[in-house]
């Protein structure tokens, strides 16, 4: 149970961070493929909305932070006449519903379309780099915690548990203490019967007889 808590949770966090890094790299490669040698088509912004992610504690996110990202839903028609619709985050905030946009996608892959213009490449690359740096630190922190647990914490905890287990087993296997050996049993015996005898009787006969007479009365 202890290993599940200290290994599974950090492992899941590290796996999630690695998955985020892979997604960021794949997304950047897809954007580069669409910008460099992609097909262009005229599209329209169907809707736009803001997604706010809050990180903090307390009621109303007091003392925390929040991050807002614009999301757009675009619709375009391929040269073959196929109508496509996709959702994309991180687009320009100036684009609202009903605006005309240029959609780009790799040859033969309209499912990888983007409406982010090539002029936003440096901005997108910088944001991706920041995300990768954050996720790298996050994953390294989770893996470092796992390494610390395996090399330091778990051996110490196992040693303590072994000592406690040995102490409990020793107490259970020890015989119960009995009465001391040689302790007298039963009531005491050998008391003298009857009452004591040999007490002196009469007046002592060895009082002095030459005591001086009392002084005369005046």
| 46 vs 177, higher pLDDT | 46
C-alpha–C-alpha distance, residues 153 and 163, integer Å: 16
Q: Kind of pairing, strands 65-77 and 100-105?
A: unpaired
CA angle 105/110/111 to nearest 5° reads 110
Looking at residue 68, what is its pLDDT? 76
Looking at the predicted structure, is the pLDDT value of residue 135 above 70? yes
Looking at residue 132, what is its pLDDT? 94
User: pLDDT (tens digit, 9 = 90+) per residue, 10-32?
Assistant: 899 999 999 999 999 998 998 89
Looking at residue 25, what is its pLDDT? 93
Looking at residue 102, what is its pLDDT? 93
Q: What is the CA radius of gyration of the chain?
A: 49
In three-state secondary structure terms, 95 is: coil
Strand stretches in the chain, DSSP E: 39-55, 65-77, 83-89, 100-105
Which pTM does this prediction carry?
0.60
Q: By mean pLDDT, which of 36-40, 153-157, 212-216 is the weakest? A: 212-216
Residue 192 to residues 5, 151, 196, 197, 198: CA-CA distances in angstroms? 78, 79, 9, 12, 15
> Across all residues in the chain, what is the average pLDDT?
81
C-alpha–C-alpha distance, residues 30 and 28, integer Å: 5
User: pLDDT (tens digit, 9 = 90+) per residue, 42-98?
Assistant: 999 999 998 887 665 554 555 556 677 889 999 999 988 899 999 998 788 888 889
Dmax (CA) of the chain: 165
Average pLDDT over every residue of 98-125:
89
Report the percentage of the chain scoring pLDDT > 90. 29
C-alpha–C-alpha distance, residues 70 and 88, integer Å: 9
C-alpha–C-alpha distance, residues 149 and 157, integer Å: 10
Looking at the predicted structure, is the pLDDT value of residue 202 above 90? no
Q: What is the pLDDT confidence band of residue 210, given thresholds at 50, 70 and 90? A: low
Looking at the predicted structure, is the pLDDT value of residue 117 above 60? yes
Q: For the CA atoms of 176, 179, 182, 188, what is the dihedral angle to 10 degrees?
A: -170
Q: By mean pLDDT, which of 58-62, 163-167, 191-195 is the weakest? A: 58-62
Q: What is the pLDDT confidence band of residue 37, given thresholds at 50, 70 and 90? A: confident
């Amino acid at each position: 149970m202890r290993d599940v808590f200290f290994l599974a949770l950090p492992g899941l966090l590290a796996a999630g961070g690695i998955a985020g890094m892979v997604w960021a790299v794949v997304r950047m490669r897809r954007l580069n493929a669409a910008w460099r040698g992609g097909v262009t088509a005229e599209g329209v912004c169907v809707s736009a909305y803001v997604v706010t992610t809050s990180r903090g504690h307390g009621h109303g996110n007091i003392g925390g932070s929040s991050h807002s990202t614009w999301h757009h839903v675009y619709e375009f028609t391929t040269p073959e006449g196929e109508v496509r619709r996709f959702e994309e985050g991180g687009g320009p905030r100036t684009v609202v519903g009903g605006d005309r946009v240029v959609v780009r996608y790799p040859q033969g892959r309209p499912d990888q379309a983007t409406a982010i213009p090539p002029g936003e490449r440096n901005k997108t690359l910088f944001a991706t780099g920041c995300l990768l740096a954050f996720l790298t630190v996050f994953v390294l922190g989770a893996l470092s915690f796992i390494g610390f647990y395996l090399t330091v914490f778990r051996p110490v905890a196992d040693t303590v548990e072994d000592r406690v287990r040995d102490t409990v087993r020793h107490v259970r296997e020890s015989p119960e203490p009995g009465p001391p050996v040689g302790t007298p049993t039963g009531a005491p015996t050998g008391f003298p019967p009857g009452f004591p005898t040999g007490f002196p009787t009469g007046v002592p006969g060895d009082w002095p007889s030459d005591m001086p007479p009392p002084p005369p009365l005046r």
